[in-house]
């Protein structure tokens, strides 16, 4: 028994020594990094105030000299220096959180628990699963270069919302990459439109605008301020996959330019006034520029999901900071509302989506047309 106790004590001592050694090495490397990148104020560098030890990370909290603020380049430099996931944030003190393990490069869709309602899993972060509630934050920008996960994420989002609310969700999809990405889902009863060109897109958005007006008039008539208060049972999602195609260009015909302008005007209208009425816009783009992601949409789409982008400038337009240009894996994204999280988004294959959604397919065009007629008898009061 004595030998066993000694062995256990030595083991615990060894683990404690290893943890202390790791934190000391991290602290030294962080301090050297401050010096090497001139992160100081007139020669005064941050000083360590305390170390917080958690199961999944160590967090180093620093006092900073007056006038020294957070620096975007600090996080990526520390991450490379320490060769560990790092999260840097500033709240009057400088916090450097160093995680023990890296995120995996894939988390399958079925491992994410459903919270029901209008909440979707955004992905796995170092802190655990991160969710987004569209009833709280209605509009979302999704940016990312080709093959890095943007369209898969939007399909996952659609699948999850249909599974949660098969009789209470509608989708209006502008698939401006030739209609190829979402064409196979056109026969789902929840999908009202898959528009593949400018004319179809303008027509779909005008339909949405008419519905917004009717729903707003109804809510006014019962003195309700939003969809939840007015017991509107349906939420309508407008998914735009490649919004950059809706920017009027010289190469377009005059007719297409007018359709594109109509689309932009209605998208801005949705972003400004329709969120609390039950309309949610998912604005997807490969090329986030100030011209494509204009001020009206950016100001009202508080939720941002950025996959790998080409430049720090694009990252700045999409999420108001650099970082998306350094993401390592397809499906890895920065999710930002008030706070930011680096997540690995849920992965779902086309086959899995088909298996989950095929029971909702309707092949009767007459039924589809009837289902898109504005309803007057489906609102539950009280």
Is 118 part of any known ligand binding site?
Answer: no
Is 47 part of any known ligand binding site?
Answer: no
> What is the per-residue pLDDT across 96-118, written as a single tens digit (0 to 9) for each?
999 999 999 999 999 999 999 99
pLDDT for the residue 382: 28
Whole-prediction pTM = 0.83
* Rounded Cα–Cα distance for residues 173 and 179 (Å): 9
- What's the distance, CA 345 to chain centroid? 9
* Rounded Cα–Cα distance for residues 190 and 201 (Å): 18
Domain with CATH 3.30.1240 in the chain: 18-99
Is 150 part of any known ligand binding site?
Answer: yes
**Predicted confidence band at 8 (pLDDT cuts at 50, 70, 90)?**
low
Both structure tokens of 153: 């994420």
pLDDT for the residue 237: 98
Q: Quote the mean pLDDT of the chain.
A: 88
Average pLDDT over residues 114-137: 95
Query: What percent of the chain is modeled with pLDDT above 90?
Result: 70
pLDDT for the residue 177: 81
For residue 139, count CB atoms less than 10 angstroms from its CB and return exposed for 0-12, middle for 13-18, buried for 19 or more.
Answer: buried
Average pLDDT over residues 275-304: 93
Q: What does CATH list as the number for 107-372?
A: 3.40.50.300
Asked whether the predicted pLDDT for residue 369 surpasses 60, the reply is no
**Predicted confidence band at 24 (pLDDT cuts at 50, 70, 90)?**
confident
Asked whether the predicted pLDDT for residue 319 surpasses 80, the reply is yes
Average pLDDT over residues 166-181: 91
* Residues forming beta bridges with residue 129, ordered by sequence position: 124
Fold of 18-99: 3.30.1240
pLDDT for the residue 359: 96
CB environment 25-46: b (16+ within 10 A), e (fewer): ebbeebbebbeeeebeeeeeeb
Is 149 part of any known ligand binding site?
Answer: yes
* Rounded Cα–Cα distance for residues 339 and 10 (Å): 42
Asked whether the predicted pLDDT for residue 343 surpasses 80, the reply is yes
**Predicted confidence band at 2 (pLDDT cuts at 50, 70, 90)?**
low
**Predicted confidence band at 78 (pLDDT cuts at 50, 70, 90)?**
very high
Is 33 part of any known ligand binding site?
Answer: no
Both structure tokens of 376: 């007057």
Is 151 part of any known ligand binding site?
Answer: yes
Asked whether the predicted pLDDT for residue 317 surpasses 90, the reply is yes
Both structure tokens of 370: 């009837």
Domain with CATH 3.40.50.300 in the chain: 107-372
> What is the per-residue pLDDT across 233-272, written as a single tens digit (0 to 9) for each?
999 999 999 999 998 888 899 999 999 999 999 999 999 9
Among the ranges given (5-9, 282-286, 315-319), the one the predictor scored with the smallest mean pLDDT: 5-9
How far is CA 129 from each of CA 120, 152, 293, 344, rounded to the nearest angstrom?
10, 18, 28, 9
- Reference 182, options 209, 202, 208, 200; nearest CA is 200
Helix (H, G, I), strand (E, B) or coil at 142: strand
């Amino acid at each position: 028994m004595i030998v066993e106790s000694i062995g256990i004590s030595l083991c615990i001592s060894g683990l404690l020594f290893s943890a202390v050694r790791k934190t000391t090495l991290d602290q030294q490397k962080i301090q050297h990094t401050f010096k090497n990148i001139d992160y100081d104020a007139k020669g005064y560098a941050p000083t360590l105030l305390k170390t917080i030890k958690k199961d999944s990370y160590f967090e180093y909290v620093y006092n900073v000299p007056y006038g020294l603020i957070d620096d975007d380049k600090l996080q990526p430099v520390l991450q490379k220096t320490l060769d560990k996931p790092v999260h840097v944030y500033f709240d009057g003190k400088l916090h450097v959180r160093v995680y023990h393990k890296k995120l995996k490069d894939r988390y399958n869709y079925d491992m994410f628990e459903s919270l029901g309602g209008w909440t979707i899993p955004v992905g796995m972060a170092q802190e655990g699963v991160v969710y987004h509630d569209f009833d709280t934050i209605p509009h979302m920008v999704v940016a990312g270069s080709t093959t890095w996960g943007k369209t898969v994420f939007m399909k996952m989002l659609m699948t999850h919302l249909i599974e949660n609310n098969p009789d209470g969700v509608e989708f209006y999809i502008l698939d401006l990459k030739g209609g190829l990405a979402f064409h196979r889902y056109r026969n789902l009863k929840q999908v009202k439109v898959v528009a593949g060109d400018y004319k179809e897109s303008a027509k779909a958005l005008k339909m949405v605008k008419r519905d917004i007006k009717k729903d707003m008039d109804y809510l006014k008539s019962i003195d309700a301020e939003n969809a939840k208060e007015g017991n509107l049972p349906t939420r309508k999602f407008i998914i735009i996959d490649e919004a950059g195609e809706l920017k009027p260009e010289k190469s377009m015909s005059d007719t297409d330019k007018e359709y594109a302008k109509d689309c932009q005007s209605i998208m801005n209208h949705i972003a400004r006034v329709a969120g609390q009425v039950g309309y949610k816009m998912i604005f997807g783009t490969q090329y986030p520029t100030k011209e494509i992601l204009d001020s009206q949409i950016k100001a009202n789409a508080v939720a941002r999901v950025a996959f790998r982008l080409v430049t720090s400038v694009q990252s700045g337009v999409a999420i108001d900071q650099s970082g998306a240009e350094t993401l390592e894996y397809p499906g890895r994204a920065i999710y930002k509302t008030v706070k930011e999280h680096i997540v690995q988004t849920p992965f779902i294959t086309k086959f899995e989506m088909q298996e989950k959604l095929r029971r909702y397919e309707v092949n009767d065009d007459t039924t589809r047309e009837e289902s898109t007629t504005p309803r007057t008898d489906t609102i539950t009061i009280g």
